[in-house]
Amino acid sequence: MKEDIILAGVGGQGILSIATVIGSAALSQGLYLKQAEVHGMSQRGGDVQSHMRISSDPIHSDLIPKGCADLIVSLEPMEALRYLPYLSREGWIITNTVPFKNIPNYPEMSAIEAELGRLPHVIALDVDAIAAEMHSPRSANMVLLGATAAVLDILDADLLREGIRRIFSRKGEAIVETNLQAFEAGIRFAQNLK
Amino acid sequence: MADKQLLLGDEAVALGALHAGLSGVYAYPGTPSTEITEYIQAHPLAAEGAVHSDWTCNEKTAMEGALGMSYAGKRALVCMKHVGMNVCMDAFMGSAMTGANGGLVVTACDDPSMHSSQNEQDSRFLGTFAMIPVFEPSDQQEAYDMTRAAFDYSESKGIPVLMRLTTRMAHSRAVVNPGDVRDQNQMHLPEHPRRWVTLPANARVRNRELIADNATFEEDACRSQFNWLSDGKDHSLGIVACGIAYNYLMENFPEGCPYPVLKVSQYPFPCRLANELASMSGKILVLEEGQPLIEKRMRGVFPTAVEIHGRLDGTVVRDGELTPDEVRKALGLEAHPAYPASQVVVPRPPALCQGCGHRDFYTALNNVLKKDYPTAQVFSDIGCYTLGYMAPLHAIDTCVEMGSSFTMAQGAAYSGVWPSVAVLGDSTFTHSGMTGLLDAVNAKANVVLCISDNLTTGMTGGQDSAGTGRIEAICEGLGVERAHIRTIVPLPKNYPDMEKVIREEIEYEGVSVIISRRECIQTLRRHAKK
């Protein structure tokens, strides 16, 4: 069994915290994992992505081949579309709907929504608003991870919950709880769609 | 035996070095190499063993510090990005002549596709050039294992080893099974003291030894556990796969590669194994990350009986990073069905952070130059502030290599450019700008040299900067007149004052230094959290 995920966003949004939780869960199950990250100049407000591969068998390439990603998980809607050539025909996009506009020529939201609308498997949600409702605006990432959990096959939600506990435990129980609540809100949103 | 760990390639090198009994890491930050040193700095073994891990001023001082540690019999690691090799080349070439006493491993992280760099140079050439063995791991476990092996090899053969990583290896995580921890060496002086004095009479003797040793190194590469020749049922093609290219090859054959493959992770290039491969197949495809080093060598000048394919004949893309898709195409396999690229998406280039002091400095500089000095040229340098080139600032005219702003501005000023302005950061200043400033003072150049001081090495994530708190003193010590060392605070409310200072120093005929100082907002946030 194998699952290939592209995590996307804008430098500084924090896609790597999502990767860290998934990675911790995968490691706890003794699964193979490769995770290619972006460090350096691109982190300064540019587009960033991480190729994350999880498998029960050894993984060769650090990069996902085009047309092979099972999931694109994005904290920003245009960034979700940037990696479309990597998505498998049966693959899912799970994306935040809130645009991050730090460029003068950001496209019309209607064009982005239309393109997402043409794809067969999309979960689009306003993770910022959901996180704010939960009184934890800084846990938007975990809302997105929750929505992802609904379509992620290789790791079940309990393993991700344990991952959240492990990753955030050194910041205190309150932070763990906030992140877990955000995660649950993401799961609920995705389940209501199904 | 420690537990399995999820490590970046960089971190696997760092842990391998610590477990190999490292006494010191010597490095200047540079993407994609920075995380090696950062991992060592944060690791408990480094504190327990008093492992040296302070950042150095530049890659040359790093290489020399490590060479001194090796001279004293202890194990040293040097880390840098590929272009850092240019800075340390004098010391690196020298280390081939002295050889190593304590294990000495030099890690160069290349950046094909220039994710965060100004060129694509391939450090493997430098191993060949210096006659130093090169290790090129293909995955994170090998990065760990090969670092340990590199220290053993260095110490047993008395030669430094060049470890070559590329961005994808450096910045990708995978599960690594670490081994046992070995003690550091005790101090012991070299057995061959003459080698360490490279007078011509000694160096000639040593050069012949090194040439002879290279035959041994090549035979060692043929027998290395990290290189192997595997047969396949289909001999219509033979493949040479170097380093990480091996993964992209295997990715495309989940059931196993049908062709014979020579996997290469240790150099000098194992020619005997390559000849064995050529005896299996008259058509060879070379897959290597970086420049076509091996392909060119195999191809030679005169026609051969063996067909060679790779980057030079367009079978593989000529430049840029390899990908599983590029390798798939080179193998003649059909692409996986995929969606076309979205037409809605626009590029999102990196930019200076909102609230960054470089922005405010450039704004004030632009206000002066664009309005009153249209002939001005601004020579800039390597760092976050290179992003001042982008819209809407368009504040700089050049960026070449570390320190070049201060010196290029002098050559241009001498040729008639006025005002000739240079801008570099505090870390770049202490890396390679100080000597250029002394040149300017000695030549009484008519230049305005600006140090945009954010109190850190910003671009690579906020490492300590060598001259923090002493920039004015350094400039004064190098002979800049006190009256023309001006310090400003880059904030919008200060634009009138900043512009006045810039104008005054442009009008002064001689060497001016303007220090624009405000802490990097990224490190400021981090400090605020503490």
Do B317 and B373 have their domain in common? no
End-to-end CA distance of chain B, in Å? 34
Residue window 16-35, chain A: list those with CB within 8 Å of chain B: 23-24, 27, 32-35
Which residues in B lie closer than 8 A to residue A44 (C-beta atoms)? 350-353, 384, 387
Phi-psi region of B325 (alpha: psi -120 to 50; beta: other; left: phi over 0): alpha
- Distance between CA B136 and CA B86 in Å, rounded? 19
User: What DSSP string describes B134-180?
Assistant: EE--SSHHHHHHHHHHHHHHHHHHT--EEEEEEHHHHTEEEEE----
Task: Decide the pairing of beta strands A87-96 and A69-74.
Answer: parallel
Interface test with B, best of A61, A72, A106, A109 (most B CBs within 10 A): A61
- Distance between CA B421 and CA B374 in Å, rounded? 12
B318 with B309: CB under 8 angstroms? no
| CB within 8 Å: A23 and B6 | yes
Task: Decide the pairing of beta strands B134-135 and B266-267.
Answer: antiparallel
Residue window 134-173, chain A: list those with CB within 8 Å of chain B: none
Residue with tokens 């976050």: B384
| CB within 8 Å: A46 and B342 | no
Q: How high is the pLDDT of residue B1?
A: 46
The angle at the Cα of B467, spanning B463 to B472, to the nearest 5 degrees, equals 140
Rg of chain B in Å (alpha carbons): 25
Do B481 and B369 have their domain in common? yes
Q: Is residue B148 part of a domain?
A: yes
Q: Does A132 touch chain B (CB under 8 A)?
A: no
Do B71 and B151 have their domain in common? yes
- Distance between CA B502 and CA B514 in Å, rounded? 8
User: Tokens representing B141?
Assistant: 């476990």
CATH of the domain at B326: 3.40.50.920
| CB within 8 Å: B31 and A41 | yes
What is the domain extent for residue A63? 2-100+108-193
Q: How confident is the model at residue A42 (pLDDT cuts 50, 70, 90)?
A: low
| CB within 8 Å: A86 and B461 | no
Q: Does B55 touch chain A (CB under 8 A)?
A: no
pLDDT digits (tens, 9 = 90+) for B79-133: 999 999 999 999 999 999 999 999 999 999 999 999 989 999 999 999 999 999 9
Q: Is residue B86 part of a domain?
A: yes
Q: Does A54 touch chain B (CB under 8 A)?
A: no
Do B435 and B388 have their domain in common? yes
Which residues in B lie closer than 8 A to residue A138 (C-beta atoms)? none
Q: How high is the pLDDT of residue B528?
A: 85
Residue window 411-470, chain B: list those with CB within 8 Å of chain A: 459-461
Q: Measure Cα distances from A48 to A24, A44, A73, A80, B234 in Å.
A: 21, 9, 12, 11, 41
Closest CA of chain A from B46, distance in Å? 22
- Candidate from B250, B341, B350 with C-beta closest to A41: B350
Do B177 and B267 have their domain in common? no
CB pairs under 8 A between A and B: 148
Do B206 and B86 have their domain in common? yes
Question: For chain A, percent helix, then strand, then coil, each to nearest 5?
Answer: 45, 20, 30
Which residues in A lie closer than 8 A to residue B37 (C-beta atoms)? none
Do B233 and B140 have their domain in common? no
Contacts of B255 (CB under 8 A, 6+ apart): none
Closest CA of chain A from B438, distance in Å? 30
Closest CA of chain A from B77, distance in Å? 22
A98 with A128: CB under 8 angstroms? yes
Length of chain A: 194
Residue type, A54: I
Q: Does A47 touch chain B (CB under 8 A)?
A: yes
Residue window 190-219, chain B: list those with CB within 8 Å of chain A: none
Helix pair B200-223, B84-98: axis angle to 10 deg: 100
Which residues in B lie closer than 8 A to residue A82 (C-beta atoms)? 342, 345
Closest CA of chain A from B326, distance in Å? 9
Q: Is residue B193 part of a domain?
A: yes
Q: Among B223, B239, B269, give the residue marking a domain's end.
A: B223
Q: Does A15 touch chain B (CB under 8 A)?
A: no
- Distance between CA B66 and CA A26 in Å, rounded? 38
| CB within 8 Å: A107 and B344 | yes
pLDDT at residue A114 is higher than 70: yes
Q: Does B353 touch chain A (CB under 8 A)?
A: yes
Q: How high is the pLDDT of residue B530?
A: 66
B368 with B421: CB under 8 angstroms? no
Q: Is residue B351 part of a domain?
A: no
| CB within 8 Å: A40 and B341 | no
Residue window 241-260, chain B: list those with CB within 8 Å of chain A: 244, 247-248, 250-251
Positions in chain B whose pLDDT score sits under 70: 1-2, 530
| CB within 8 Å: B341 and A85 | yes
Task: Decide the pairing of beta strands B172-176 and B134-135.
Answer: unpaired
Phi-psi region of B462 (alpha: psi -120 to 50; beta: other; left: phi over 0): left
| CB within 8 Å: A61 and B251 | yes
Residue range A59-81: mean pLDDT, rounded? 98
Q: Measure Cα distances from B226 to B153, B264, B426 in Å.
A: 13, 7, 42
CB atoms near residue B239 (< 10 Å): 26
Contacts of B65 (CB under 8 A, 6+ apart): B24, B26, B52, B56, B76
Q: Does B352 touch chain A (CB under 8 A)?
A: yes
Contacts of B215 (CB under 8 A, 6+ apart): none
- Distance between CA B293 and CA B304 in Å, rounded? 18
In eight-state DSSP terms, residue B433 is: I
Do B215 and B233 have their domain in common? no
- Chain B residue with minimum CA distance to A53: B174
Q: At residue A124, what are phi and psi to the nearest 5 degrees? A: -115, 130
SS3 A47: strand
Closest CA of chain B from A66, distance in Å? 6
Q: Is residue B75 part of a domain?
A: yes
Closest CA of chain A from B11, distance in Å? 13
Q: Is residue B338 part of a domain?
A: no
Mean residue pLDDT of chain A comes to 94
CA neighbor of B131 nearest in space, from B223, B206, B64? B206
Q: How high is the pLDDT of residue A194?
A: 65
Q: Per the structure, how many domains does chain A have? A: 1
pLDDT at residue A44 is higher than 80: no
CATH of the domain at B441: 3.40.50.970
Q: Does B346 touch chain A (CB under 8 A)?
A: yes
B273 with B262: CB under 8 angstroms? yes
User: Tokens representing A49?
Assistant: 């992505």
Helix pair A15-28, A157-168: axis angle to 10 deg: 110
Interface test with B, best of A38, A66, A76, A105 (most B CBs within 10 A): A66
Q: Does A87 touch chain B (CB under 8 A)?
A: yes
Q: Which ranges constitute the DSSP H helices of A41-139? A: 77-82, 109-117, 127-133
| CB within 8 Å: A111 and B338 | no
What is the domain extent for residue B367? 357-528
Contacts of B510 (CB under 8 A, 6+ apart): B444, B445, B446, B481, B484
Q: Is residue B238 part of a domain?
A: yes
Do B369 and B312 have their domain in common? no
CATH of the domain at A21: 3.40.920.10
A95 with A80: CB under 8 angstroms? yes
| CB within 8 Å: B344 and A32 | no
- Candidate from A62, A66, A81 with C-beta closest to B325: A66
- Chain A residue with minimum CA distance to B356: A44
User: What DSSP string describes B360-405?
Assistant: HHHHHHHHHHHHH-TT-EEE--SSGGGGGGSTTT---SB--STTHH
Residue with tokens 């150095």: B56
Do B408 and B462 have their domain in common? yes
Closest CA of chain A from B523, distance in Å? 13
- Chain B residue with minimum CA distance to A79: B345
Closest CA of chain A from B351, distance in Å? 6
Do B205 and B249 have their domain in common? no
B381 with A43: CB under 8 angstroms? no
Q: What is the pTM of this model?
A: 0.96
Which residues in A lie closer than 8 A to residue B521 (C-beta atoms)? none
Do B387 and B495 have their domain in common? yes
Residue type, B418: W
Q: Per the structure, how many domains does chain B have? A: 3
Length of chain B: 530
Bridge partners, residue A94, by sequence: A73, A123
